[in-house]
Structure formats: structure tokens, C-alpha cells
Amino acid sequence: MGQAQFPMETTAGFSPPTVTQFSVFLDNRVGKLHELLRAFDLPIAIMQDAESITRITHELVEDVASDGTRYAEIRWGPALHLLRGLDLRESIQAVVDGARSGVAATGIHIRLIAVALRSHPPELNLDVAREAAPFIQDGLTGFDLAGQEATFPDPLIHSDAFDAARAAGLGITVHAGEWGGPQQVWRALLVGPSRIAHGSTAGDDPLLMDELKARSVTLDLCPTSNVQANNYPSIAAHPLARLARAGVTVTLSTDDRTVSDLTLVREYENASSELGLSAAELWAMNMHGLRVAFLQFDESLRARLIAEFEDFAAHEPLLTNRS
């Protein structure tokens, strides 16, 4: 799913793979993606004041840390929280405050990605990019575009927002390919992202797969969310393993935890049991995720995390033969 009718979603949270029971909050699948997006209306409705947003962000960080995750990125749409008087800066500040207190309570490392909406006017999305930039030192280091892809398929309408975000140094990503197949992933490449959220339909286009590899663009893949959105009939049918084994760089992410009732540990279990990915293959995704994380303003932290993970792997027999 991952499109931006959401309160918050996590991307590329990194922790040692373990096994637990899988469950979902949604009852199987929805007919179309826009039906899944409606599931986010209630969470958004209760996130319209600074106190609620800060508390929910703090508790999200605590929940993510409880899995043993050491680093995670939180995506949210600042412009979705303006219905009761907050402005964009206040909306962003509330999330920053919650993330900061959550980090202080848990020791996890968090970065934030501000999400613009395909359905919002380009001028508003430009404002989101401009308002996000002053929060870089507070851990807001990425910019995304998401939303109703079928109705608003062209990301270039929001080029000014992407240009402003890139000029500020924000990492660029975009949701694509949950509708419209590989062509939508090709379109996403026009805005020059380093990562694409979802984009799994690239597996249907060998030329696109080659292009992603040539450009070193990473796909942040969310199999459970894609099944819930009826993009695939089952986890086993998801192309995550096929893309990774073809050399397309990928991460494994949860997408929205609220609607899916999903954790990263459970998604790892799915990738292992349903897709046959080995611990070493999952670990390679983890390590790659750290290398492409939006830590461009703190390379020393990236280096420390990679060293920490490599030390863990060196003492884990399942990972000693990782690539």
C-alpha cells in the first residue's frame, strides 16, 4: 500500500531476522488500492492536534524498538494533519518532538521522511518540501510523493517540490508501481529518486530491472501491504525474491503498521517461510538498507551501525556465508 492516505509508515527498519507468528488487521484483501486507502481515514482523523501526533509518534518509535530494530525511517504526510488549525511547521514539529522523545526512551535511531500527496496541489507540496528542510538537523532527511496513483499518475506535476527537496539535501524517494504496472515505475524514475517505495512490478519488465540496476535505485518492498492491496494473490506470489536474486537492490519494509497490524519481524518471517529467502539473503537486504538509508547528514552513524551489524553477523553461523 504505502500510499499517503496514512498516518505513519515505517521503512527499512533493520534488525536481526527472527521468526514469529504472522497476523493482519485487515481481513484478507481489498478489491482495489483506493479501498485500502480508506482504512486510514480514522487514524488520520485523530491525528489533528500536536499532542496526539507527538504521542503517537513516540509510541510508534517504542513499538519499533521493541522488535530489536536499531534503525528505522518513519514516513508521514505533514499536510494530512492541518484540519484543526495546525500549520505545516507545527505538524512537522509535533512528529519531530515525538520521535526525539521516543529515541531518548529507547536508544533506537530514527530518521523522518516527509511525504507529499499526489492529490494535493503542487503549490502545497512545494510548501511541504520547503517546511521540511529546516528540520534536517532534527532528523528529517527524506522527501517522498505518494497517494492515489491511478487518479494522479504523473509525478512530474510536483517537480518543483522535488527540486526544492533535493536542493536542501533531502533524500528523494517516490511511491510507484502499485497501480499501472512497470510504466509507473518508469515514470517515477523521471524525478530522479535514489529509492522507490514499492515498485515491485519492475519484476515484469527486464529492461526496467536493468535500468534500476544501472541507476543504483533501491526498491523498498512491502509484500504484505501489496497482497492486502490485491496487487498479488499471496505473499508467495510476490516478486521480492525474484527481484533480489536478479540483482535489483531491495529492502524489506513494513509499510503501515496501523492498518496491517504488521511488524518487521513478522514480515521477515513471511519472506522466509513464503518466499524461501534465506537468512543470509535477508541479511544482505538489511545491510544494503543501511547503505542507502537517508543518513547523508550523519555518515559516522551509518558507519557505526554497519560495523555493529557486521560484528553481529560475524558471530552468527547462519550469516557467515552472506554475500
Query: Beta strand pairing status for 171-176 and 218-221?
Result: unpaired
9, 178, 274, 281: which one is catalytic?
A: 178
Tell me, yes or no, if 267 is annotated catalytic.
Answer: no
Please give the Cα distance from 73 to 231 (Å, whole number): 24
Q: Are 172 and 192 in contact (CB under 8 A)?
A: yes
9 by DSSP, 3-state: which? strand
174 by DSSP, 3-state: which? strand
Please give the Cα distance from 300 to 295 (Å, whole number): 9
| CA nearest to 221, candidates 181, 269, 177 | 177
- Sequence-distant (≥ 6) Cβ neighbours of residue 34 within 8 angstroms: 148, 150
Chain centroid, CA 136 distance in Å: 18
Cα torsion for 94, 99, 104, 110, to the nearest 10°? -160
Catalytic residues: 178
